[in-house]
Amino acid sequence: MDDSEKINEQLASSLKWAFWAGAFLVCCFAAPVFCGGKQAELCICAKINPNTASVSELAQMPSIGPKKAQAIIDYRNEQSAGGKKKVFESAADLEKVKGIGEKTAEKLKPFFDFNEE
């Protein structure tokens, strides 16, 4: 085996190690980021419906903590008391909740399913 073959073999071995180390880091650290930075019971793998979600489910969404989650529930309850069955029909409707602006609503869009009953 000449020197160039040894170098290629070492490089291939190093790249394999780097790949698996990277894969490990993604699995360990990216999942909590996608779950609002928390070790969550509910991960973003499954979309939730803001018309039926609990405070704990909403609190796990990006940029939503317990206070904003409760504000969503309170707004939902106020509106549904007036006879409105489906309060949130799109991400834009979330902007009606105090503390949720256009940027936050846009960020939440991929995590919600507004059509689910």
Residues near 102 by Cβ (< 8 Å), separated by ≥ 6?
95
pLDDT digits (tens, 9 = 90+) for 5-41: 877 787 677 766 656 656 555 555 554 444 444 444 4
Range name among 69-78, 86-95, 107-116 with the lowest pLDDT average: 107-116
Backbone angles phi, psi at 62, to 5 degrees: -60, 135
The pLDDT of residue 102: 93
Distances (CA, A) of 5 to 11, 12, 16, 18, 54: 10, 10, 16, 20, 59
Round to whole Å and give the CA distance between 42 and 39: 9
Amino acid, res. 20: W
Question: Phi, psi (5° rounding) for residue 4?
Answer: -65, -35
DSSP 35-93: TTTS--SS-TTS-B-TTT--HHHHHTSTT--HHHHHHHHHHHHHHHHTT-S---SSGGG
